[in-house]
Amino acid sequence: MKKTLSSILCIAVLLTLISIPMTGFAFSSTNREDYELSPKTKEAVELGLVNLDGTLPIIKDPEAFEAKYGKLSALIVNNAERVLPISELDMVKRWEKDTGVRFDWQPIPLDGSSEKISLILAGGDTLPDIFWNFGDGLSTSTVITYLDQDVFTPTEDLIKAFCPTLVKVFSDNEKYLLEATAPNGHMYGFPYIEEMYGLVLTPGPFLINKAWLDKLGLPVPTTVDEFTDALIAFRDAGDLNGNGKADEIPFATSFGSEDTFGSYDAFYRFTGAFGQADSYCGGNRFADHMRLIDGKVTYTALDKAFGETAMYFHKLYKENLLNKDAFDVEAGTNYRNRELAQDEALIGAFGVWTDMEILNNEVRHQYVPLPKLKHDKGTVGFALNFSEMQDACNTAISVDCEFPEIIAAFVEYMIADPALSIQSNWGSVGYNYYLADDGVLRFNLDENGDIIPVEPYTSFGTMRVNTTTCRGSMIVLNEYYDTVAEYTYDAKTLLEGQIINGKNEDLANYDTIPKIMLTTQEQGAVSRVYDALANTVDRYVVQWVLNGDVESTWDTYLAEMEAAGVQQIVDIYQGAIDRVRSNE
């Protein structure tokens, strides 16, 4: 269930390959001496301008290199909160100093970036040397869309020759190797891997106002029934936030919201409590409502648990326990952009991606994560169709790039040093981090555990986007934490909240759709079917929550889903997964 505005395919996700037998893919290094350099790179090496022996700098004389060849161009999807030019970011200046590689950065705004990139790729004009990123989670789908049009250079041989760190990552993690391999057997670009103990594999925290519970003498709920009773108590209590107004909202949700991690539409969270958990991920939207159950692709929105969940929310709606704008998914009126931005608590319970979205720290500290609420047929919670290799094809090299080896060597520089990779991803020392006496990158926090921003910036996020590009080909592994850096500041409470919500149980119990690359034909077929299915699901959920007529309309719903092509999309994903299993 989601708002179906985007037409960009993000085929994504291998949460776990427990039910998918590994086939022993081999991925090993190739000696650089055995790799045949492209003509321009070979010329630059012979002229003494470029060094590819694994030491720095890569471009030995940037001025001479650029006088002869010009700068390498890099298209980048820019962040709206970034106020500095890309070349002025702390980490970019460090990269240039270390490597001698000075990109001609070509930023485009995030809003409309997919359309802009499509025009560039289809235009027939000269392409940038690399596409630094495509927007979060969109690299694979973009590359696959243009796979048959000869615009991207395969990178597996470059990786083997120039990226020993990435070779080891693929050797140690066969799931990443599978995710990064296109149906034609090639790789394109380089991955963005952000391991954070499974952070992106379940929704963000589901929270309840503990201060309100304490005022009412109520414990933190442990069951769905207790949760419902708490909402009723919030409704009936009066002025819980003490502002003299009757403005308390017992429970806020956003039906049909389309977000990367499924955190704001509480409907998904509750399906497991009624028998079969749904699955969702805005970063892999075409795999919504599908899970692997006993190794088979299953469209979970066809299970009667979906209808029973709708009836539960119908009860909440009738009892005036939901926010009045629960069906309005426009960003300007969403509770996270309105109620959570206030200096007083207005909502009793809700889901967020991170509690940092509660802007007032005093208000934020009123909330605690709910435990995994139990019900007659199961528990609240579900696992996402996503992967910690969030992008398989960032820093994709176009066929117009005459120096692909420089790009590969630059990526190896970016990922070989864990401390550099962490700062390149999350922000630089002096802003987001300081280097502690024990050699670990740590955060400068106040007595409440909140980060102290460095002027002129106001938050971890604004410091991040104004000191580094964030996305690109960067790799952060679980093993880096505590030895190289603290666990990421703005995600620490997020992860803690997820764990209390039942993250570990959900990851152990639910298999989701693997992050496999579909063929161009499969991708086209899925995109044609998906919107009709999503619109049907969305329409019926709204109808059921408002009217409570699940029983009388269930068969009609199933018939409409069949007519919309639900079996076709299931068959396509099943075929793709079978292809992965057989290592075809």
Summarize pLDDT for 330-374 with one digit per residue, the tens.
655 689 889 999 999 999 999 999 998 999 989 999 999 999 999
Tokens of 510: 């639910």
Residue 30 is predicted with a pLDDT of: 85
Question: Would the pLDDT of 1 be above 50?
Answer: no
pLDDT at res. 331: 54
What's the CA gap between 192 and 476, in Å, rounded? 8
Give residue 48's identity as a one-letter amino acid code. G
3-state class (DSSP) for residue 416? helix
Statement: residue 55 has pLDDT above 80: yes
pLDDT for the residue 570:
97
3-state secondary structure 4-66: CCCCCCCCCCCCCCCCCCCCCCCCCCCCHHHCCCCHHHHHHHHCCCECCCCCCCCECCHHHHH
Please report, rounded to a whole number, the percentage of residues in the chain having pLDDT higher than 70: 94
Q: What pLDDT, on the 0 to 100 scale, is given for residue 332?
A: 58
Question: How many residues appear in the chain?
Answer: 584
What's the mean pLDDT in 298-306?
97
Q: How confident is the model at residue 7 (pLDDT cuts 50, 70, 90)?
A: very low
Residue in the block written with tokens 């208000």: 363
Q: How confident is the model at residue 516 (pLDDT cuts 50, 70, 90)?
A: confident
Q: Could you tell me what percent of the chain has a pLDDT over 90? A: 78
Contact 3, 258 (CB under 8 A): yes
Q: Quick one: pLDDT at residue 333?
A: 65
Span 415-450, pLDDT tens digits:
999 999 999 999 999 999 999 999 999 999 998 888
Kindly state the average pLDDT of the residues 53-69: 97
Q: List all residues 6 or more positions away from 66 whose beta carbon is below 8 Å from its beta carbon.
A: 102
Give the Cα separation of 448 and 454 in Å (integer): 17
Across the chain, mean pLDDT equals 91
Residue 190 bridge partners (DSSP): 394
Tell whether the model's pLDDT for residue 124 goes beyond 90.
no
Q: Mean pLDDT throughout 190-214? A: 97
Cβ(60)–Cβ(51) below 8 Å: yes
Render pLDDT for 524-573 as a digit per residue (tens, 0 to 9).
899 899 999 999 999 999 999 999 999 999 999 999 999 999 999 999 99
Q: What is the 3-state secondary structure (H, E, C) of 198-231?
A: CHHHCCCCEEEEHHHHHHHCCCCCCEHHHHHHHH
What value does the CA radius of gyration of the chain take, rounded to a whole number of Å?
25
How far apart CA 508 and CA 485 sit, in angstroms, is 27
In sign, the C-alpha dihedral spanning 370, 286, 277, 575 is negative
User: Which residues have CB under 8 Å from 492's CB, separation 6+?
Assistant: none
What is residue 415's predicted lDDT score, i.e. its pLDDT? 98
With 60 as the cut, is the pLDDT of residue 18 above it? no
